[in-house]
């Protein structure tokens, strides 16, 4: 079940909502001011890794400019 982040356009409150089903027809209301003027925002990601392993960032040229690849330590394939 994904957690979505929303921002109220009236009071600028940012809040999360747990999606219990795939139905997008649910009206989202700001828990602070009650406004229905809501926009979905891009959520930040977070992860932790064992200190003995390092996260590796690789930059390379691509048609749209510079592209980056993030390699996160984890179980081997």
> What pLDDT does 3 receive?
77
Q: Specify the pLDDT at position 26.
A: 72
Residue whose entry in the numeric block shows the structure tokens 């409150």: 13
User: Over its length of 77 residues, how does the chain's per-residue pLDDT go in tens digits?
Assistant: 577 889 999 999 999 888 766 665 678 899 999 999 999 887 666 656 555 566 666 666 666 666 666 666 666 65
Q: What is the pLDDT of residue 48?
A: 61
Return d(Cα 40, Cα 36) in angstroms, integer: 12
Q: What is the CA radius of gyration of the chain?
A: 18
Report the pLDDT value the prediction gives residue 76, as an integer from 0 to 100: 60
CA distance 39 to 36: 9
Contact 41, 6 (CB under 8 A): yes
Q: Is the pTM of this model over 0.85?
A: no
Maximum pairwise Cα distance, the chain: 48
């Amino acid at each position: 079940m994904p957690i979505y982040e929303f921002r109220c356009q009236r009071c600028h409150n940012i809040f999360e909502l747990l999606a219990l089903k795939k139905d997008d027809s649910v009206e989202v209301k700001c828990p602070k001011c009650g406004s229905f003027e809501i926009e979905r925002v891009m959520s930040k990601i977070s992860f932790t890794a064992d200190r003995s392993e390092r996260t590796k960032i690789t930059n390379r040229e691509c048609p749209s400019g510079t592209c980056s690849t993030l390699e996160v330590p984890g179980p081997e394939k």
